[in-house]
Amino acid sequence: MTQIFSPVPGTFYTQSAPGEALFKQPGDAVTAGDVVGLVEVMKTFIEVKAETAGTFGAYLVEDGAAIGAGEPFAELKD
Amino acid sequence: MSLKIMQPGLSTSIQDLGRPGYFHLGIPIGGAMDRFALRVANMLVGNPEGAAGLEVVFMGPVITFENDALVAVTGADLPPKVDGVVQPGWTAFEIKAGQTLSFDFLKSGARAYIAISGGIDTPPALGSRSTYPIGALGGLDGRNIQAGDVIPLGEVDMIEPGLHVPADLRRLPGNPAELRILPGLYWHRLTPAAQEGFFADDWAVALEADRMGYRFKGGKPLEFVEREQPFGAGADPSNIVDGCYSYGSVQVPGGLEPIVLHRDAVSGGGYFTLGAVISADMDLIGQLQPHTPVRFKKVDMEEALAARAARKKMLADVRAHLG
């Protein structure tokens, strides 16, 4: 099990815009470099990318929730 | 003597203590948002306190050193690493030519200050190396640092590594953070209930929080004393005939979300300001992350001046500690 962390504090999103599909669904294949989450802070949206490949497990943080720097927001199954 | 920026981080800028003296012309004072942290970082590496360093927000840069240097990281708890090995914060450590400085995830606070022996030696603009991106002034070409930048350093005789500032001589905001405010010229524009509510309510740092200003949300909307708006003021009750804004002044557009103006703020405009955060607490704002709970506390001028004296004493204590 690999976790993916937010590099910055802010507000976490599971999709690129309201109404869009989630970046990943449980069971989706993940390739290193895939965008798996979005964090908003200081009027900037930061795409967080997977650093390793795997199978998407689940989001650990709800869409629109506050997130801290270094907080895990998703799990990959190896 | 120079640094090579491999990755810039989220919003990393060259800052010193700022360029006072031009605010009346609309050019902000600029400089480090947490001036105490920058001063201490410089002291740790043997620089003058006002030397230019890097202000890092939330996410650290990756920097390769072309020469041996002493480095200190203060302010936020953003653990520095030399070639992957974690170094203590608030402590001078050595980096050898060819080694890389990077950072772990932010643990607490919001802005870390990196001082490097010799200081950053970019050309000053209006007496300061501080970066003011909106005015394209200072720093490197008037902008935040980017990957590929080569940043010149001053020449210096390096002191010994290992100087350290203990936790009781540092300052980070509590949780909730408390910011002390001195009510100002337009305080009378609020109803007594709004005046009381502002200080009684629970606030939190909004996502719109940067070098220009910090926005807060979560408290009740402010009610204004009814009046016929004077000529030249907008129709909204939070509008005034344009006036001056000070560093630290608190405007509340529409009576909804207070904004505390910080180092890169505009110098005037048409919003009433209910008062100002006292100078002693401005450094703390630079260390607030989004969503941090905040309470505002009303103080008078005597308390504000006592707090300023206490801050000066703490700086003097650090100087004495470091000899």
Give the start-to-end residue ranges of the domains of chain A.
2-77
User: For residue B237, is the peptide bond before it cis, meaning its omega torsion is within 30 degrees of 0?
Assistant: no
The residue assigned the tokens 């005597």 is B302
| Surface of A (13-72) touching B: CB under 8 A | 40-44, 46, 66, 68-70
State the ipTM, two decimals.
0.84
Taking 90 as the threshold, does the pLDDT of residue B1 lie above it? no
Taking 80 as the threshold, does the pLDDT of residue B66 lie above it? yes
Q: CB B207 to CB A10 under 8 A?
A: yes
Return the beta strands (E) in B143-267 as ranges: 150-152, 177-183, 203-209, 213-217, 239-244, 249-251, 259-261
Please list every residue in chain A whose beta carbon sits closer than 8 Å to the beta carbon of residue B288. Answer: none
The pLDDT assigned to B156 comes to 83
> Is any Cβ of chain A less than 8 angstroms from the Cβ of B7?
no
Taking 90 as the threshold, does the pLDDT of residue B89 lie above it? yes
pLDDT class for A70, splitting at 50, 70, 90?
very high
Rounded-to-10 torsion of CA B191, B193, B195, B196: 170
The pLDDT assigned to A71 comes to 94
Average confidence (pLDDT) over B262-277: 96
State the amino acid at position B180 in one-letter form.
R
Q: CB B10 to CB A43 under 8 A?
A: no
pLDDT class for B157, splitting at 50, 70, 90?
confident
> Is any Cβ of chain A less than 8 angstroms from the Cβ of B210?
yes
Residues of chain B with CATH 2.60.120: 2-169
The pLDDT assigned to B12 comes to 98
Taking 80 as the threshold, does the pLDDT of residue A78 lie above it? no
Give percent of chain B above pLDDT 70: 100
pLDDT in tens, B97-121: 999 999 999 999 999 999 999 999 9
pLDDT class for B158, splitting at 50, 70, 90?
confident
pLDDT class for A42, splitting at 50, 70, 90?
confident
pLDDT class for B307, splitting at 50, 70, 90?
very high
Q: How far is B210 from chain A (nearest CA, A)?
A: 6
How many C-alpha atoms does A31 have within 13 Å on its Cβ side? Answer: 1
- CA–CA separation, B259 and B13 (whole Å): 22
Yes or no: domain B177-314 corresponds to CATH 3.40.50.10860: no
The pLDDT assigned to B212 comes to 97
pLDDT in tens, B187-221: 999 999 999 999 999 999 999 899 999 999 999 99
Average pLDDT along chain A: 94
Please list every residue in chain A whose beta carbon sits closer than 8 Å to the beta carbon of residue B290. Answer: 9-11, 41, 66
Residue scoring higher pLDDT (A19 or B302): B302
Across the interface, which of A7, A11, A43 has its CB nearest the CB of B59? A7
Helix and strand totals (H; E) in chain A: 0, 8
What string of DSSP letters covers A51-64? Answer: SS-EEEEEESS-TT
Topology of domain B2-169, per CATH? Jelly Rolls (2.60.120)
The pLDDT assigned to B323 comes to 84
B77 → chain A, closest CA residue? A69
8 Å CB contact between B261 and B286: no
Give percent of chain B above pLDDT 90: 95
pLDDT class for B310, splitting at 50, 70, 90?
very high
Architecture label for domain A2-77? Beta Barrel (2.40)
Taking 90 as the threshold, does the pLDDT of residue B151 lie above it? yes
Give percent of chain A above pLDDT 90: 88
Backbone angles phi, psi at B154, to 5 degrees: -75, 160
Taking 80 as the threshold, does the pLDDT of residue B175 lie above it? yes
Residues of chain B with CATH 2.40.100.10: 177-314
8 Å CB contact between B137 and B102: no
